Amino acid sequence: MDEKAFEPHRKYLTGIAYRMLGSYAEAEDIVQDVYLRWHRADTSAVVDARAFLARITTRLCLDVLKSARMRRETYVGPWLPEPLVEGLADPGSPEEELAGDLSVAMMLALERLSPVERAAFLLHDIFEMGFPAVAEAIGRSEESARQLAARARRNLRSSRPRYKVGAEEEGAITKAFYTASRTGDLIGLTKLLADNVVFRSDGGGKRSAAPKILEGIDQVAQFIAGYGRKGFEYAGLPPVRFAHINHMPGFATIEVDGLPQTTSFEIEDGRITAIYVMRNPDKLRHVTAKWVRGG
């Protein structure tokens, strides 16, 4: 089969792989592998190309997740999915579409599911695949696929956002947090954070980050204010690009070490309830200084 027959399915397959793996780079590798297999295969008997390709994609992702689980056990500090920043990818690309569609909170919730639960839920509930096809893709019976999807659905129900913040309020909170966090303004931060705020930062052992998940307004505000005072008292505010990151308000910056960083939030009832900071350079290769400064 030629590339023209495959390309209409690339976004669809990338969406499956990114949601399964939490890494856009790995998702692209998976889809390229699927393309090579499609190109080499005898597809004359294939009735539904999309279902056929989705099955290959899912099985490759499940194979990757087996080793990923082992790697995650030795991961340094909290783990976060690879961030996708709206406006940095090519318009209409899979990356741009995913950046505006899938929150970090939902990705973390998916991470708590077993690989087969995740696959069953995504294929049926998100990609609207029938259970017979889901069962074939994950190598289980149809009844088992139904049970896996139902279990995943129950586990994910509490992870869905409860409030929708208006764009104007969202922008004001984001910019206020940027200024307060970078100037070490403890009082300003406490006005923005919810009492039960949670802070996760992912350095992957490559850059400094909070070694564990921080919880509560006092702990989180003190940590962020201290980081701001220590890091920027001599350097001034870093270059910033305000943007949605995985469908959440936030910003991308160039830090004092010359490397990029992304910060995104969950906001409920006018207060920040969760903060996600990506500092692992391996997960930020697509967020370059040129993009940030060019914003």
Whether residue 86 lies inside any domain: the answer is no
* 19 confidence band (pLDDT: 50, 70, 90): very high
> Do both 62 and 208 map to the same domain?
no
Please tell me the predicted confidence (pLDDT) of residue 156: 86
CATH number (domain holding residue 13): 1.20.140.160
d(CA 288, CA 150): 40
What CATH number is attached to the domain comprising 277?
A: 3.10.450.50
**Residue 14 located in a structural domain:** yes
Determine the average pLDDT of the residues in 126-139.
94
Please tell me whether residues 182 and 143 are part of one structural domain.
no
Highest mean pLDDT among 151-155, 216-220, 225-229, 283-287: 216-220
Pairing of strands 260-268, 248-254: antiparallel
150 and 243 assigned to the same domain: no
Position 41 confidence tier, pLDDT thresholds 50, 70, 90: confident
If asked whether residues 141 and 276 sit together in one domain, one would say no
Q: Do 144 and 13 fall within a single domain?
A: yes
pLDDT at 162 over 60: no
Residue 181 has pLDDT above 80, yes or no: yes
Q: How many domains does the chain have?
A: 2
**Domain end residue (candidates: 158, 193, 211):** 158
Q: What is the pTM of this model?
A: 0.87
100 domain-assigned:
no
- Kindly state whether residues 174 and 124 are assigned to the same domain: no
Binning pLDDT at 50, 70 and 90, where does residue 5 land? confident
Give per-residue pLDDT as tens, 216-273.
Answer: 999 999 999 988 776 555 456 677 889 999 889 999 998 888 889 999 999 999 999 9
In this structure, the answer to whether residues 7 and 145 fall within a common structural domain is yes
Q: Are residues 180 and 253 in the same domain?
A: yes
Same domain, 51 and 129: yes
Over residues 120-128, mean pLDDT: 93
Range of the domain at 121: 3-75+114-158
Same domain for 289 and 242: yes
- pLDDT of 116 reads 95
Residue 51 lies in a domain: yes
* Residue 55, domain member (yes or no): yes
Q: For the residues 84-92, what does the mean pLDDT come to?
A: 77
Please give the residue that has the higher pLDDT: either 244 or 292.
244
- In contact, 19 and 110? CB cutoff 8 Å: yes
Average pLDDT in the chain: 87
Q: Are residues 57 and 152 in the same domain?
A: yes
Whether residue 221 is found in the same domain as residue 281? yes
